Amino acid sequence: MLKGHPTKIMNIPFVDLAQQQQRIRADLDRRIGQVLDHGAYINGPEVAELEARLAAFAGCRHAIGVSSGTDALLAALMAKGIGRGDAVFLPSFTFTATAEVVLQCGATPVFVEVDAATFNLEPNHLREAIVQTAKIGQLRPAAILAVTLFSVSLRITRQSMAWRRNTIYSCSPMGHKVSAPATIT
């Protein structure tokens, strides 16, 4: 507070959900009514619609809706057969679920330093972690969970990926923004 200047405190809401909802209220009420009418609360037609629309948006053949980002990571690792004896590389700055799913698969999480500006995996540190893990020989470098935060796209150059030799599965979960693709230049 400055001397002689009264301070008025204003309450500014961080997110005004009621105001946002007003713009789409009629559509929300209609869609919720449809779900209540058909009673398929789990895996109903709206899920298939969402999956089809996401697949079209992403330009891929399929999209699979799951209950959480944690389940999405787990499904991706399970689909690739990641398990005991495998090393999965992930950012040192991440939510606990990232390491949790690695452990659920029986694999070993290997934390890699992140870029201080983006909090995404730092390619040189990633390369070194993979090389060292392979050199020690106790774990097979199997997967990279390149979690991106704060809607910042992951950018890795082709040169920095040359060491991958196509033997490592790479998954880039985009939990904060569906339209923030990982790009390889």
Which has more confidence, 67 or 155? 67
Q: Which CATH number fits domain 69-184: 3.90.550.10, 3.40.190.10, 3.40.640.10, 3.40.50.300?
A: 3.40.640.10
pLDDT in tens, 105-150: 999 999 999 988 888 888 889 989 999 999 999 999 999 888 777 6
Q: How many residues would you count in the chain? A: 185
Q: pTM for the full model?
A: 0.71
**The pLDDT value given to residue 182:** 45
Return mean pLDDT, the chain. Answer: 83
CA distance 156 to 122: 9
Question: What are the residue boundaries of the structural domains of the chain, listed by start?
Answer: 17-58, 69-184
DSSP state letters, 85-151: TEEEEEESSS-HHHHHHHHHTT-EEEEE-B-TTT-SBPHHHHHHHHHHHHHH-SSEEEEEE----TT
Strand partners, 184: 156
Would you give the DSSP letter of residue 154?
Answer: P
